[in-house]
Amino acid sequence: MLAAAIIFINCALIFYTIGVWGEKRSGTLQTKHLIYFLLGLVCDTTGTTLMSTLASNGGNVIHALTGGAALILMLIHAVWAALVKWKGSANAQHTFHRFSLIVWILWLFPYFIGVGMSML
């Protein structure tokens, strides 16, 4: 189960990174970016769920708090992206990437905390 959790978390990193940076490079929010955001969210949720079932002592509090916050931000980001994509103006689709980059950077904190914890 640990291997599956690690694979899902790393897939989340890959999907979310492709979505955020693809959107940034294209300069506008496209459907494929939304799909990558959703895939990242699903993989992160799955990996986090698997990891939490393995944690017998509750794990690191900072990692749990930042990870929970990151999941909530990813959910907000995906919902907002869907709203902007289907109901937003062209300007909203063009400037959405600013929020995406902030969420991606904040998501990296619990990711790297988890990587660091696995090295101990």
Looking at residue 43, its amino acid is C
Tokens read off for 64: 């749990």
Tokens read off for 55: 């944690």
Neighbours of 23 (CB within 10 A): 24
Neighbours of 1 (CB within 10 A): 9
Tokens read off for 24: 């940034």
**CA 92 to CA 82: how far, in whole Å?**
12
Q: What is the mean pLDDT of residues 19-40?
A: 94
Q: What percent of the chain has pLDDT over 90?
A: 58
Instruction: For 48-79, write each residue's pLDDT tens digit.
Output: 888 888 776 666 778 788 888 999 999 999 99
97 closest CA partner among 80, 112, 110, 109: 80
Q: How confident is residue 19, by pLDDT bands cut at 50, 70 and 90? A: very high
